[in-house]
Amino acid sequence: MTLRIIAFGAHPDDCELKAAGAAAKWAAAGHKVKFVATTNGDVGHFEMAGGPLALRRTAEVKHCAEILGIESQVLDIHDGELLPTLENRRTIARLIREWQADLVLCHRPCDYHPDHRYTGVLVEDAAVLVAAPFFVTDVPPCPRNPVILYYSDNFKKPYPFDPAIIVGIDDVLDQKRTCIEAMPSQFADKESWQGRYLPGVPEDDEGRKIFIRDWLIARDGDVANRYRDLLVQRYGETRGREIKHAEAFELCQYGAQPSAAQLNELFPM
Amino acid sequence: MTLRIIAFGAHPDDCELKAAGAAAKWAAAGHKVKFVATTNGDVGHFEMAGGPLALRRTAEVKHCAEILGIESQVLDIHDGELLPTLENRRTIARLIREWQADLVLCHRPCDYHPDHRYTGVLVEDAAVLVAAPFFVTDVPPCPRNPVILYYSDNFKKPYPFDPAIIVGIDDVLDQKRTCIEAMPSQFADKESWQGRYLPGVPEDDEGRKIFIRDWLIARDGDVANRYRDLLVQRYGETRGREIKHAEAFELCQYGAQPSAAQLNELFPM
Amino acid sequence: MTLRIIAFGAHPDDCELKAAGAAAKWAAAGHKVKFVATTNGDVGHFEMAGGPLALRRTAEVKHCAEILGIESQVLDIHDGELLPTLENRRTIARLIREWQADLVLCHRPCDYHPDHRYTGVLVEDAAVLVAAPFFVTDVPPCPRNPVILYYSDNFKKPYPFDPAIIVGIDDVLDQKRTCIEAMPSQFADKESWQGRYLPGVPEDDEGRKIFIRDWLIARDGDVANRYRDLLVQRYGETRGREIKHAEAFELCQYGAQPSAAQLNELFPM
Amino acid sequence: MTLRIIAFGAHPDDCELKAAGAAAKWAAAGHKVKFVATTNGDVGHFEMAGGPLALRRTAEVKHCAEILGIESQVLDIHDGELLPTLENRRTIARLIREWQADLVLCHRPCDYHPDHRYTGVLVEDAAVLVAAPFFVTDVPPCPRNPVILYYSDNFKKPYPFDPAIIVGIDDVLDQKRTCIEAMPSQFADKESWQGRYLPGVPEDDEGRKIFIRDWLIARDGDVANRYRDLLVQRYGETRGREIKHAEAFELCQYGAQPSAAQLNELFPM
Amino acid sequence: MTLRIIAFGAHPDDCELKAAGAAAKWAAAGHKVKFVATTNGDVGHFEMAGGPLALRRTAEVKHCAEILGIESQVLDIHDGELLPTLENRRTIARLIREWQADLVLCHRPCDYHPDHRYTGVLVEDAAVLVAAPFFVTDVPPCPRNPVILYYSDNFKKPYPFDPAIIVGIDDVLDQKRTCIEAMPSQFADKESWQGRYLPGVPEDDEGRKIFIRDWLIARDGDVANRYRDLLVQRYGETRGREIKHAEAFELCQYGAQPSAAQLNELFPM
Amino acid sequence: MTLRIIAFGAHPDDCELKAAGAAAKWAAAGHKVKFVATTNGDVGHFEMAGGPLALRRTAEVKHCAEILGIESQVLDIHDGELLPTLENRRTIARLIREWQADLVLCHRPCDYHPDHRYTGVLVEDAAVLVAAPFFVTDVPPCPRNPVILYYSDNFKKPYPFDPAIIVGIDDVLDQKRTCIEAMPSQFADKESWQGRYLPGVPEDDEGRKIFIRDWLIARDGDVANRYRDLLVQRYGETRGREIKHAEAFELCQYGAQPSAAQLNELFPM
């Protein structure tokens, strides 16, 4: 059976950072994956902004999608301005319905950036309604409420990230690294957010690109270490201990509620 | 003293499912109860939608209200489109003020459907303001902030349902069953949501009606079993162990904060 | 040169009533025409409403589009609820940009129904911006502001309909009649708006359909007679006098301003 | 036949100023009249504001309604904050449907105060929809679109007030004067808007009240003189020349379109 | 007496194009003038957009203000996204109150760009309310409703621009030319709107700047010629005939209504 | 190093109640503190409302600011009507940017009053964006995301107040008492909220003022006792046990995350 997965991230880099590994594996297995950025990322750079930056970032994630073998879309909503409106709820619901998604990924509603939080809220608000026959009438409903999962994060309140499934990504790490390198407006420009704010960033362009990329990939190492038990449980003692990088996902209580075994089937090994 | 209770549910069946038992008992004891659906339920059916469905459902809950001896109102807001706007906040505040409510019931803001969650948010947002003299000027304020409670649900995050009071409803279960049967657009039609999505639903109309009704009533059995300790504490060891069906309620921290003894007085035995 | 024409009507019948004749002629000449209903028409019937009515009407105008040889789209916005929001402005602008329209048709902002008026306002508000490179970033701009025209109407204030161009439609009248017959939810059902409100409507289904259709077509006769001078001016004395039915259009001052000769070239004879 | 008339004014004094005479006559003839203020008038005074002022003004127009023998309602919307939202459109449509109005009165959309203009826009936007069966579902539709008329004003653009009907009010002028005197927060307080801004206002309370009242009544004299021809046409040469004070109304093109004779029947002599 | 004038234009160049001449003269006479752009102009360029363009344009109009001896402010609202919201109404009302304006200038609500139209609507909607003591409470009211005037435009519907006053600007034309040259993002860049769309624009930078500047100044020549009668009436036969460039203004009916003589006093010769 | 602290409270008394002690100490040490009320408090009194009450309360907190040696601002938003809109998000972000804040204080998003909750949400939503160069373009960004902390409260869900830092305020308690006395519209009038609702309030004006003041100050005693461990940890065993009154603050996870030692440096002893 071919799975259909749709992932929502707030900016044109979030799906990539949080789920590029899983996506590469799903795609390699013949499943259909789509990444959607819910804003166009048009204010997160110190030199460019507005349309030119939005177009550049759209091209960057399109490139990532080619690297991963998936589809990609960027919603033309200003960065920093995503709100849980009815219009946006309908947009998210339509995208899930059009994709006839089995699985939906998004941020938790307690992530650090308002666009992240409201992306989470919007997906939660679209839940159930993607199966309602007449909530929107121009796209047929999903046959049932999909399984919804949140990306990992480091936030502790109201409760810490609580993973239900983990995916080792060492075998696709090169693809993920290449993705990150394909987004210089986010992770390589001297005047990118990370280039400007991250401590210890090298002065030269090549050095900066490698430094930021490795800093990001190191976060997938933290995920593997933090949720090592889950890796061992899923991959067995040996392989579970060996995996160096991973992506983890928490089950959203407003989507379908698969058993642990069912969830295991839905995610690539 | 006559109590005045107002209950808000997202769709024309939610108050009935969550509080018909308690309502029947309050009404029998001479208290005044009103059920308000915050949306008109106009998309949750596979054959009908819009106004005709809204009218049908309004008539159904009106029938339920007669069965229970209470009042009923359906707000003409599209199903799936309830938002925590200022207009809606004022509407909820006016309804509570007009009813001069001592007790207010609603969903938790972490229920599965956005209309449920925002019904909870709206009641929370109206709290305090129902006692503010000039928040609205066309309906006099309540003399004090009422006691607000949430219906039971099965959600675990950010924290599990935490009941403060429980009501055994075995003696009014027939009335609740009759209510459920009085809402065929929700619980009996072949093309109703439950008729379509619930696994194992019989093909014939009468069988389907009984099947869904009993499945719903079984959930009140789960409540009784899950919160058995509360039943024993309230009804004593013998009766507390015997009660088969119950409705439970969690205290909202934004309303008045009665003592356990006061809360016990406010709810029927 | 192939022209690209996009027409906006408030409900799934408005473009058809006001411009089916011109559209049929453009299409026959190889030009590309698209009709867009800005609402889904989901409250204008006395027996059905909501999603089922929206789907029925979407199918009806799709059928009309086949009859005319054009494309068709229905925006999933509730009937009676269209507002000149920024989201809707962007939607209209994107449709015009995607179509790379040379010509845009819409209602005047002084028509009788709020959805008509706000369709006019939205097109006016999208004008100029369809050529702005970065107003939206997911659809390339039009190379220049298109020519915008209003459909004919009978309103007198703030000033009467003021046609700039007229099209005789006698030779395509059969297609227009067939279109109208293809929209029974609007023009034939006993419980359609016209079936209910139009005086003198026959009781039998076939009679009603013919009666309403002919009443509508008679309005194109009024247009021909009222603006006879324009017909004579465009078609010459003989043919201008003979034309029985016509569609007329007023030039919107916020679009491109073609000369009379240029306008004549843009419209079919 | 008993007529049902509903009049919308932006503040709690506008219906009274523009239509108290006609209302008194309709009421005396047994027709049903209701005045609705679309805002609560809570910022138009130099000493009071907010709720206390809203309550005072609500009481004042209630008193006026008793003087005129009609009903009265004040919508609890802040003065200066009325917008043509969907919520307000529905509120206006519901009021017209509840009243099952034959006649609706309102400001022109080109009056001097934004609340006046948007009251006009809202009534226009509600037109047609008051007869749509499912635009709102909690109040039955009007059997047909009512006749809608605008109050007189002095504005010239986009076109001057264009009366379709005029009513001589000399015989009910005492009632109108008493109404004006019953609204001291608007027309008598030293710190009322008129008490503060009108040139030549006397210092003493009684003098001020009379001065402002007479200045207002003089405006009805201007109406009589400006549209003398209409008075003569309606009341005949003799009586038409004698009438000193009048109220005039322009026909809105978005409501039902009665003939001159029909309109004459609808208004009192 | 020192006059206080505040002018609202939709983009950072509109006040300058329409009123730089009058402003220079007022300023030279010791009156206080402020230009406010109601949007930041962040999409009207083919190479830049967003914040960097907004900052560039803010700097450009600041430079213009220095040239003219006036003050300048740019509201940080996205270009193409200005709406007549309550928040914007309050912002405009506060600016007028803070400036304690005697005179307010703005676009007509029938100009070609939605930001122009809604700038006009917003100023109209703020009218009266700038004198209401408690519409906003953080800025004291104006002692009375100011005189409001519209800039000239070429639009004909619903009625043509109807000037009440005209100002010959030949003697300050150098300042106006210098202003236009100080806005290269609008009028000189190869990738500016005019640089891209205006027919016949030279290829070289200097040539383009001069060409566009002169094309704009020629429009002030059109104003002088079109309203020559007004010039003669105001400046006398000789001077009135000689004036080559002028700025004209129409009186808004929602502000104070000065006599022709009073208006003449308010504007510079 | 001079710290810059900005505190947001929902009404003109909230910052004062929750942080006057810390503010007095910061100010005494030469740091810059600003209190911002996010609404004007115009409905929380039983005798006055609207503008006059807003102005009175603005004057009261201005007086408090003088007592504390800090700055003060009241946003002109109606009490009970604060929503997490984009306009308000921008307003909060601009205030933080203008203040170039190192520290930001606000309510938790789980406080009892909707204005409190949405003040918390708005500050959270502004977090990150205060450092985004082009989220707003009229105020330069903060050099980095500030440290954000919540005021103490008694709410338990979704989790109890979790203080990260505590400040003993016995040495500035007189200033805090004087502040409270400087807000009679909140804490002394017979018709103030507390004067009306607090049980056991004396009848005479002076008695009432003292009673309410002492009741409020007693809450700071509760804070000291409840979080005694934190006091001991910060001030040492002896002084930590002696402190009678305190203010405590919880670290928001969406701002900068200082170490405990860094946090200790940021707050006065």
Reported as a single tens digit per residue, the pLDDT across F7-66 is 999 999 999 999 999 999 999 999 999 999 999 999 989 999 999 999 999 999 999 999
Phi and psi, residue B242, nearest 5°: -80, -30
Residues of E with CB below 8 A from C89's CB?
114
Q: CA nearest B77 in D: which residue?
A: D136
Tell me which chain E residues have a C-beta less than 8 angstroms from the C-beta of F62: none
- Please give, rounded to a whole number of angstroms, the shortest distance from the CA of B53 to a CA of chain D: 10
Sheet holding D147-151, edge to edge: D71-74, D32-37, D4-9, D103-106, D147-151, D246-251, D165-168
Span E19-46, pLDDT tens digits: 999 999 999 999 999 999 999 999 989 9
Amino acid letter for position C124: E
Cα maximum dimension of chain B:
55
pLDDT at residue B123 is higher than 90:
yes
Q: Looking at residues D22-46, what average pLDDT do you find?
A: 97
Binding-site residues on chain F for chain E (CB distance < 8 A): 40, 42, 50-52, 54-55, 58, 74-76, 85, 87, 90, 133-134, 136-138
SS3 at position B34: strand
Nearest to A80 among F124, F129, F254 (CB): F129
Average pLDDT value over all residues in chain E: 97
Predicted pLDDT at A1 = 84
CB within 8 A of F49, min separation 6: which ones?
B133, B134, D49, D50, D51, D52, F42, F43
Confidence band of F1 (pLDDT split at 50, 70, 90): confident
Preceding amide of A158 cis, omega within 30: yes
Of E40, E43, E79, which to mutate for an interface test with C (greatest number of C Cβ within 10 Å)? E43
Interface touch E76/F90, C-beta < 8 Å: yes
For residue E153, what are its two tokens?
């435009």
Judging contacts by C-beta atoms under 8 Å, the chain A residues touching residue B81 are: 86
C50 to chain A: nearest residue by CA? A134
Which DSSP helix (H) or strand (E) runs through E106? strand E103-106
Name chain E contacts of F75, Cβ cutoff 8 Å: 138
- The strand ranges marked E within A59-121 are 71-74, 103-106
Say yes or no to pLDDT of F102 above 90: yes
pTM, rounded to two decimals? 0.97
Candidates A112, A159, A194, partner chain F, best to mutate (most F CBs within 10 A): A112
Size of interface D-F (CB pairs under 8 A): 27
ipTM greater than 0.90: yes
Asked if the bond preceding B158 is cis, omega within 30° of 0, the reply is yes
Closest chain E residue to C140 measured between Cα atoms?
A: E46
Residues of chain C contacting residue E43, judged by C-beta atoms under 8 Å apart = 132-135
Terminal Cα-to-Cα distance of chain D (whole angstroms): 16
Q: Which of A42, A43, A157 sits opposite F253 (nearest CB)?
A: A157
Q: Which residues pair with C165 in a beta bridge?
A: C249
pLDDT at D1 exceeding the cut of 90: no
Residue F47 tokens read as: 């005798």
Rounded to an integer, the average pLDDT of D66-71 is 98
Contact E76 F42 (CB under 8 A): no
- Judge: D133–C46 Cβ closer than 8 Å, yes or no: yes
Q: Which of E125, E129, E253 sits opposite D157 (nearest CB)?
A: E253
Is C114 in contact with D125 (Cβ distance < 8 A)? Answer: yes
Q: Which residues of C touch A (CB under 8 A)?
A: 40, 42, 50-52, 54-55, 58, 74-76, 85, 87, 90, 133-134, 136-138
Min Cα–Cα distance to chain E from A261, Å: 48
What distance in Å separates residue A58's CA from the closest CA in chain B?
Answer: 31
Contacts of C52 in chain B (CB under 8 A): 47-50
Q: Which residues of E touch F42 (CB under 8 A)?
A: 137
Mean pLDDT along residues E95-110:
98
- For E163-218, the pLDDT digits (tens) are 999 999 999 999 999 999 999 999 999 999 999 999 999 999 999 999 999 999 99
Tell me whether residues D43 and F49 touch, CB distance under 8 A.
no
Which subunits count as partners of chain D given 3+ CB pairs below 8 Å?
Answer: B, C, E, F
3-state secondary structure of A120: helix
Is B51–D87 a contact, with Cβ atoms under 8 angstroms apart?
no
Distance between CA A113 and CA B79 in Å, rounded? 30
Mean pLDDT, residues F68-82: 98
Residue of chain D with shortest Cα separation from C118 = D125
Could A155 and F253 be called an inter-chain contact, meaning their C-beta atoms sit closer than 8 Å? yes
pLDDT class for D59, splitting at 50, 70, 90?
very high
Three-class SS state of E104: strand
Give the mean pLDDT of C10-14. Answer: 98
- Residues written for chain B: 269
- Among residues F268, F210, F244, F254, the alpha carbon closest in space to that of F109 is found at F254
Distance from the Cα of F253 to chain A's closest Cα (Å) equals 7
Written as six digits, the tokens of D155 are 């504005």
pLDDT tens digits along A62-118: 999 999 999 999 999 999 999 999 999 999 999 999 999 999 999 999 999 999 999
Q: In what order do the strands lie in the sheet with E165-168?
A: E71-74, E32-37, E4-9, E103-106, E147-151, E246-251, E165-168
Which segments of chain A have a pLDDT < 70?
Answer: none
Cis bond before residue C141 (omega within 30° of 0): no
- Determine the pLDDT at residue C116: 98
* Residues of E whose CB is below 8 A from D49: 133-134
Give percent above pLDDT 70 in chain C: 100
Residue of D47, D48, D50 with shortest CB distance to F42? D50
Chain B residue nearest residue C45, CA to CA: B51
**CB nearest E43 (choices: A47, A50, A53):** A50
From chain F, the residues in CB contact with D50 under 8 A are 42-43, 48-53
Q: How many Å apart are CA C217 and CA C169, to the nearest integer?
A: 11
Give D193-232 pLDDT, tens digit per residue. Answer: 999 999 999 999 999 999 999 999 999 999 999 999 999 9
Cβ within 8 Å, pair E42-A52: no
pLDDT score recorded for residue A65: 98
The contact set of E with A (CB < 8 A) is 42-43, 47-53, 78
Checking if the pLDDT of E1 tops 90, the result is: no
> Residues C138-172: pLDDT tens digits?
999 999 999 999 999 999 999 999 999 999 999 99
- Mean pLDDT score, B36-50: 96
User: What is the rounded CA–CA span in Å between residue A210 and residue A208?
Assistant: 5
Do F and C touch, 3+ Cβ pairs within 8 Å? The answer is no
Closest F-chain CA to B255: F112
Assess whether pLDDT exceeds 90 at residue C82.
yes
Q: Which residue of D has its CA nearest to B90?
A: D76
| Per-residue pLDDT tens over the stretch A181-196 | 999 999 999 999 999 9
pLDDT of residue C1 exceeding 90 = no
Q: Which residues of D touch E254 (CB under 8 A)?
A: 112
